[in-house]
Structure 1
Amino acid sequence: MSDSIDEQLADREPWQWDEPVWRAEVDRVRAGRALVDPDPASRWPGGAKCAVMITYDADHETPFLRDNQTTPGSLSVGEYGSRVAVPRVLKMLERNGVKATFYTPGVSALLHPQDIEAFVAGGHEVGVHGWIHERNTELPYEAELDLIGRATENLEKLSGTRPVGIRTPSWDFSHSTLQVIRDMGFVYDASLMADEEPYEILADGTPTGIVEIPCEWIRDDAPYFSMNRFGGIRPHTPPRDVEQIWKDEFDMAYAEGGVFELTLHPHISGHRSRISAVERVIQHALGKEDVWVGTHAELADFLRGKFEMG
């Protein structure tokens, strides 16, 4: 008789697993039905042909704190995100009439409560992004639930509204994350990459009623512009090249009648040369008349109204 699934996971190498073991791992969190109306005329809010969403992960100092990088030089990189980039980003969004979603770690919010106030004043959504940008895949259920719970409570106090969605700090799920999301009552997640269009998350093959609004590293600024002064990682892609990649992403999304979503970071894309590229991408998308621009919460609410969930 073969070992149980738990025994095989603990005692065997992946190439030694029986089929039920690797199937169970694959099926733990999976993409369910696409939440895309087959009728293009009613697919997105307002009958738009394409949905556009601009999101920011307002990490600021938290990735450095998480990794115990507490030197002033490291932390100043995150401080720039709030001190300079957030006001610049908010002015750019206002200039273009765009409402965005700002995913904010709890510690970032407590360090910079004026950011949350400014997000709300601008009509933007505030979403949960962990506590201190923790690596959630390394945490047990109890710790993950505690950190997400604390982050949610503080964001609710500072914003006046309880967040309805989450983007996990490291764009991944532990074996407990989906249960944490359900226990917290979130209606959507924005961390997974199984599609380019929204879908319903399955848990072991069963619909959860949770909307997934996928992200992708191609449409994230960090892979293009990240910097590690003690390692080999250096910004290597000119902003105008990234601009063209994102314009091409939008053009295909528009042609297919789908979703175009960007994930940005104030401390990364809030710099002068980069925010100029971001603004040109936004203006390129807004150049199409039949485009809807909104927040993740707005899209999730629209989709939950169209589809019977869970």
Structure 2
Amino acid sequence: MTDLQIKPLETWTWPQERFQKTLNRARAGRALKPASWPGNSRCAVALSFDSDHDTYELRDGGRSISALSQGQFGSRQGVPRIRALLQRHATPATFFVPAVTALHYPDEQRALVAEGHEIGLHGWIHERNTLLDGDTERELQLRAADTLEKIAGVRPAGIRTPSWDFSENTLRITSEMGLLYDSSLMADVDCYELLLHGVPCGVIELPVEWIRDDGAYLVMERWGSLRPQIAPHDILQIFIREFDAAFDEGGIFQVTMHPDIIGHRSRLWLLAELIEHIQRHQGVWFATHGDVVRHVRASCA
């Protein structure tokens, strides 16, 4: 049977109770927007980088040597260039790292921590959570946390699921692990508490959005006819407008980037220009995702 012949799920027959049960597996709860940011700053800026590296192809068996080489670029060129840029601007960031990436590039993670950056969970091998059973997803998430702690010397405080793929088990596992935050969902622009089956579960969301993700604009997929259609200058304008609005609202500007994507010379210019634009504003607090969430939790208790 082809995809076009698959019988549709007849959701129009569901009772209201089933809709509510489906929605309540992970739902946005109370908004958590602090009255102020540290140092009386007006806006918080949370830069993040997903260090997928080789895992994006290894996850599917590593058949394409070309794709693996593209992932290796992230460690050989992307991360060093990003580190130098962040150091030049005295800007902390969060790196979400698959455990297999950390195993292959342990010195990279140790150097990031030594420079004041945060290492967050990003799966074991960039797996797709919605294709896993709950026990397997839990085992991989725990194994990944243990591995990152052993390599980086700090246990991760938060998670970003690979590809932002969030299963019906993900929030329960994250809560059981005692993680402070998740950064995979998109219900708001400011932090919010996460509800599990309608009840606060102790996990705070620092939301993402494809609008603020470099991969949405710059990824090329050879066989899928997907080609970058937006020039770095135009992407910069989108990011600047997102920041300017966050600054006006006194909220959070969060952006997601990838070393093998943003780390190219013509694209790193985009990040440099963005940071310089932000730093021309008075009252901006650059912080890791973990520090943003800690401030939000303390301020909105």
Partners of 2:60 and 2:10 lie apart in 1 by 29
Shift of 1:69: 3.7
CA–CA separation in structure 1 for the residues paired with 2:111 and 2:234: 31
Return the match for 1:281 from 260, 274, 277: 274
Question: TM-score, normalization: structure 1?
Answer: 0.92
1-side partners of 2:12 and 2:203: how far apart?
A: 32
Runs (4+) off by over 2 Å: 67-71
1:170 counterpart SS class: helix
Structure 2 unaligned segments of length 5 or more: list them: 1-7
Checking the alignment, whether the CA contact within 8 Å between 2:172 and 2:196 is kept in structure 1 is: no
Cα offsets for 1:24-60 (capped at 9, x unmatched): 11122111111113x4xxx222221111010000000
- Asked if structure 1 preserves the Cα contact closer than 8 Å seen for 2:33 and 2:300, the reply is no
Aligned partners of 1:53 and 1:260 also within 8 Å: yes
For residues 210-252 of structure 1, what are the alpha-carbon distances to aligned partners after superposition, in whole Å with 9 as ceiling and x for unaligned?
Answer: 1100000000000100011122101111001001110011111
Shift of the alpha carbon at 1:71?
A: 2.5
239, 257, 264: which one aligns with 1:264: 257
User: Which of 112, 115, 135 in structure 1 is aligned with 2:128?
Assistant: 135
Spell out the pairing of 1:182-197 with structure 2 (5 A cutoff): 182-197=175-190
Aligned counterpart in structure 1 of residue 18 of structure 2, from 2, 7, 21: 21
Q: Write out per-residue CA displacement over residues 125-183 of structure 1, whole angstroms, 9 at most, x where no aligned residue.
A: 00000001000011111100111111111100111111110000121321100111012
Specify every segment of 5 or more residues in structure 1 that has no aligned partner in the other structure, as ranges: 1-10
Matched residue, 1:5: none
CA distance in 2, matches of 1:239, 1:118: 28
Distance, in Å, in 1 between the alignment partners of 2:32 and 2:252 is 11
Matched residue SS, 1:46: helix
Question: What residue identity is the alignment partner of 1:23?
Answer: Q
SS of aligned partner of 2:74: helix
Counterpart residue number, 1:33? 30
Match of 1:198 among 179, 183, 191: 191
Answer yes or no: is the 8 Å Cα contact 1:136–1:170 preserved in 2. Answer: no
Aligned to 1:165: 158
Of residues 93, 101, 107, the one that matches 1:100 is: 93
Give the Cα–Cα distance (whole angstroms) in 2 for the partners of residues 70 and 286 of structure 1: 43
| Distance in 2 of aligned mates of 1:231 and 1:192 | 26
Match of 1:33, SS state, is strand
CA-based RMSD of the aligned residues comes to 1.2
| Contact persistence 2:175–2:202 (CA under 8 A) | no
Alpha-carbon distance in structure 1 between the residues aligned to 2:120 and 2:52: 12
* Percent of aligned pairs with the same amino acid: 47
Structure 2 CA distance for aligned equivalents of residues 172 and 298 of structure 1: 24
* TM-score under structure 2 length normalisation: 0.95
1:3 maps to what in 2? none
- Please list the CA deviations of residues 49-88 of structure 1 after superposition, one character each: whole Å capped at 9, or x if unmatched: 1110100000001111112243221100000000111100
Matches within 5 A, 1:11-160: 13-37=10-34, 39=35, 43-160=36-153
Q: How does 1:290-309 map to 2 (within 5 A)?
A: 290-308=283-301
Deviation for aligned residue 1:12: 5.8
Contact 1:172/1:192, CA 8 A, preserved across alignment: no
CA 1:227/1:69 → structure 2, altered by over 3 Å: closer, same or farther? farther
Query: Number of residue pairs matched?
Result: 294
